[in-house]
Amino acid sequence: MRIDDVVRHAVRPLRVYKLRSGLSLMGILIGVAAVITLTTLVRSASLSVSGRVENLGTNLVIVTMNPLVEASNMQDGLTLRQSRSLERLPGFALAAPVDYETTTAGHGETTAPVTVYGSSPRLTSVLQYHLALGRNWTAKDVSTQQRVVVLGSQTSRQLFGERNPIGRRIALNGASYRVVGVLAPKGAFFDINQDAVAIVPITTYQMQSGIHTVESVYLKTASPAANPNEIHRLEDRLNHDLGNANRYTVMTQSEMLTVTHKISTLLTRVLTGVAAISVLVGGIGMLNVLLMSVSERVREIGVRKTVGARRAEILAQFMLESVIVAMIGGMLGAALGIGASVLLTQRLHIALVLNPWIPAAGVVASMGVGALCGIYPAARAATLPPVEALRRP
Amino acid sequence: MLLLRDISKVYQGRSPAIALQGINLTLPQGEFLAVVGSSGSGKSTLLNILGLLDRPTTGEYWIDGTRVRGWSDARLARMRNETLGFVYQSFNLIPTLSARENVELPLVYRQVPPKERRHQVDLWLERVRLSDRMHHYPAELSGGQQQRVAVARALVHNPKVLFADEPTANLDGDSTDEIVRVFDEVHASGQTIVLITHDRYFAQAADRVVKLAHGRLVSEAVTRRAN
Ligand SMILES: Nc1ncnc2c1ncn2[C@@H]1O[C@H](COP(=O)(O)OP(=O)(O)O)[C@@H](O)[C@H]1O
Ligand SMILES: [Mg+2]
């Protein structure tokens, strides 16, 4: 049998028995789509996160308070004074205490949901915001507990529309603040809307909330990257101030990157395993349909053998049929997976990072599964004696 | 052309069945042989052995001067492909192939390139008067038309022997006449034929009629026609 005839005869049943072919490729389609979507999503997310972390600078160190364990006699947290004094540790250049909460901002009858940050003037630059209008408030505003605020672009638009908000007043938690600046838009990141923010002096924030310890401190080292000695000194100081090493967590940029990487590697492994199993299950479904197809086509096999088909030719035809079904399933699955990845990364506001080898590998793996699942049914078809095959009704 | 010497066939199973016993038969080239006999008498078994689809339990089978013995499945397949043609009671067309694709099947398994097979296929579709139906699928054809496609497929590769197992048993009168006509025509041009039939009128078209009963040849008659 010529190769073009083998292909033609292998493809024909797929067109005639559309439903059966569709059923047999469904499992593989779903499996491949799942592999591509999950791995692409994890990869895109982890690259977005690590890109963001990298942007914060290699010299960033973050201290966060751990949640208080009930009935423990741990200290509440760092005072403002203690957090500031971290800046004077050898090797450190900057320390910005940061507290935050989500609440509602108001202007007249208009309200907008907002995340309020209490910090020092340096927070805007640490978080890489740029001012679009007005100015940042100053260290003096902090020391004198001024009710001044820098608004995120979205919050400004929601409260003031296209009007200039500089010098106008907004309400936060029942107190009135004067707007001194507006930030340039930054866009969303995952679920976090980075433009619905209000940044106020931490002293004002603490006076308002009544809590006088800080949740976290953003530090920057003087050298391009934090070295172990500097971290050690920082931990010594924190142990002294807090009286307990379990009260806080210190993260350097490289640690954050390592954690991100570890999580994404682990997720990728787990998800790839799950997806591989689903492709295999899809393959078993296909095996079933192929076996059904062989027993339905016993007479056809008998006819082919009667007119001179050899075992290898029957085997080739049925194998090719299953490889093609699986390949179509793999290609449709790849298309679906890419589509789903595009859609989901858009919804999550992260950049799509699509490795073109993944869909390609998905299609090739499907063909492998197709070949594997085709062997047994095709061998059964090929070894049927022609008289047996023709006697069937 | 074909020679059977003391052929027997026993089907092994829970109760072994002797399907053929002591069959001696010679089929000269160009002869049209009809095999008759009641149901279960061993006609299909005989045809399967003659057609290299099944192996006898004992006895010798010579085809074209060569003894068939210990041939591999592949060699039997090639022999069927090159020298034998088959027509069955139930048409046995491949439902996923069009009429012309069914007809060209023996040529496909003989690796004949598409251009070269076209001429033969068209010729035979014309001889069975189905040129206008060649792109139809079996399900779109009547029983008579399907059987004509099957006859064209059995003859498209100029086989040395045409085997037919009750080809008109499922057909109405007009369709039967059409098949008989084609058999007459090819026989007239020298085709060797082995036909199993219950149809006396069809059997009369043969040169010779043999009768099987309980796996044995019980009578032989030369028809009027052969004289
Ligand atoms: N594969 C088989 N296994 C067992 N017995 C069989 C088989 N094929 C045919 N037979 C038996 O052999 C005998 C002859 O069958 P067959 O050649 O089909 O008869 P006919 O074609 O004349 O009706 C019957 O008794 C039948 O039951
Ligand atoms: Mg029979």
Structural domain includes residue A191: yes
Q: What average pLDDT score do residues B8-19 get?
A: 91
Candidates B94, B124, B140, B151, partner chain A, best to mutate (most A CBs within 10 A) = B94
Ligand 2 center to B154 CA (angstroms): 18
Compute how many other C-beta atoms are within 10 angstroms of the C-beta atom of residue A316. 20
Pair (A238, A265) in one structural domain: no
Chain A closest CA to B34's CA: distance in Å? Answer: 21
Q: Look at residue B168 and tell me whether its pLDDT is greater than 90.
A: yes
In-domain check, residue A232: yes
- The domain boundary, picked from A189, A213, A242, lies at A242
Chain B residues close to A16, C-beta within 8 Å:
95-96
Residues A82 and A219 in one domain: yes
- Could you give the domains of chain B? 29-55+72-222 (3.40.50.300)
Structural domain harbouring A235 = 75-242
pLDDT, tens digit, 9 for 90 and up, residues A206-234 = 999 888 889 899 998 888 888 888 899 99
Ligand 1 lining (C-beta closer than 6 Å)? B 11, 13, 17, 19, 37, 39-45
Could you tell me if A97 lies within 8 Å of chain B, comparing CB atoms?
no
Model pTM? 0.75
Question: Which residues, other chains included, contact A284 with Cβ-Cβ below 8 Å and sequence gap of 6+?
Answer: A27, A373
- Asked whether residue A64 is assigned to any structural domain, the reply reads no
Nearest atom in ligand 1 to the alpha carbon of residue B165 is: 21
pLDDT digits (tens, 9 = 90+) for A146-181: 999 999 999 999 999 999 999 999 999 999 999 999
User: A307 and B92: CB-CB below 8 Å?
Assistant: no
- Of A115-129, A182-196, B180-194, B195-209, the range with the lowest mean pLDDT is A182-196
ipTM of the complex: 0.94
Q: What is the DSSP string of chain B?
A: -EEEEEEEEEE-SSS-EEEEEEEEEEE-TT-EEEEEE-TTSSHHHHHHHHTTSS--SEEEEEETTEE--S--HHHHHHHHHHHEEEEETT----TTS-HHHHHTHHHHTTT--HHHHHHHHHHHHHHTT-GGGTT--GGGS-HHHHHHHHHHHHHTT--SEEEEESTTTT--HHHHHHHHHHHHHHHHTT-EEEEE-S-HHHHTTSSEEEEEETTEEEEEEE-GGG-
Taking CB atoms and an 8 Å limit, are B92 and A386 in contact across chains? no
A238 & A269 share domain:
no
**From the list B77, B96, B108, which residue is nearest A310 (CB)?**
B77
Examine residue A205 and state whether it is found in any structural domain, yes or no: yes
Q: A18 in contact with B at a CB cutoff of 8 Å?
A: no
CA dihedral of residues B165, B182, B100, B51 (deg, nearest 10) = 30
Q: Are residue A268 and residue A203 in the same domain, yes or no?
A: no
Does one domain contain both A139 and A177? yes
Do A192 and A279 fall into the same domain?
no
Residues A166 and A223 in one domain: yes
Q: State whether A164 and A44 are in the same domain.
A: no
Distance A114 CA to ligand 1 centre (A): 88
- Maximum Cα interatomic distance, chain A, rounded to a whole number of Å: 102
B113 to chain A, any CB pair closer than 8 A? The answer is: yes
Verify that A204 and A288 share a domain, yes or no. no
Instruction: Give me the number of domains chain A comprises.
Output: 2
Residue A173 included in any domain = yes
Same domain, A271 and A378: yes
Residue A100 lies in a domain: yes
Is A82 within a domain?
yes
Least confident of A156-160, A281-285, A314-318: A281-285
* Chain segment B43-102, per-residue pLDDT in tens: 999 999 999 999 999 999 999 999 999 999 999 999 999 999 999 999 999 999 999 999
- Nearest residue, CB atoms, B94 vs list A300, A313, A387: A300
Is residue A39 domain-resident? yes
Three-class SS state of A183 = strand
Please tell me whether residues A181 and A265 are part of one structural domain: no
**Residue A265 and residue A231 in one domain:** no
Contacts of residue B134, Cβ cutoff 8 Å, sequence gap at least 6 = B98, B99, B100, B103, B121, B122, B125
